[in-house]
Amino acid sequence: MSLTDYLIILFIVLFMAYAIFDELIMTRLKGPTLLKVFLQRRNKLDSLIFVGLVAILIYQNVINQGPRVTTTLLMVLASLSVYLFWIRLPKLLFKPQGFWYANVFIDYSRIKTMNLSEDGILVIELESRRLLIHVRKLDDLETIYQFMVQQQ
């Protein structure tokens, strides 16, 4: 196996670790999940470019009769990429002490203000940054509001 194969294996392991954390571990950390809201996908073009580049690598490896191990690893990487970018849904998980957004836990005490934009985007102001939360269904904004009122 070449250095390229080892790097592809490293990326596969990192993608798998991220998928396992996002789907299994994050729901169990920091207490029970009280509310789960699915969010809109972001960065669709970036993911399309990444999967396209991996497809080009697979094509080049097959045409140049490269090692089958490399082709197999690239196909695994491409399938994991499709899962992570297009099949898996980003989510907002509300817990008793805070919420998970973009794989970061944010304590409720860090929230300074919450606003709703005209576009249906929930804006949460923290100490030093602003979170723009794009929900999949506008009805979820009402659910989040009711949940936040009950928590306070």
The pTM of the full predicted model, rounded to 2 decimals, is 0.80
What stretches in the chain show pLDDT beneath 50?
A: none
What is the pLDDT, as a whole number, of residue 152?
A: 65
What is the pLDDT, as a whole number, of residue 79?
A: 93
Bridge-partner residues for 121, per DSSP? Answer: 134
CA dihedral 45, 47, 51, 53 (to 10 degrees): 60
Q: Would you call 7 helix, strand, or coil by DSSP?
A: helix
What is the pLDDT, as a whole number, of residue 21?
A: 93
What is the pLDDT, as a whole number, of residue 151?
A: 74
DSSP designation for 108:
G
State CA 48 to chain mean position distance: 15
What is the pLDDT, as a whole number, of residue 8?
A: 92
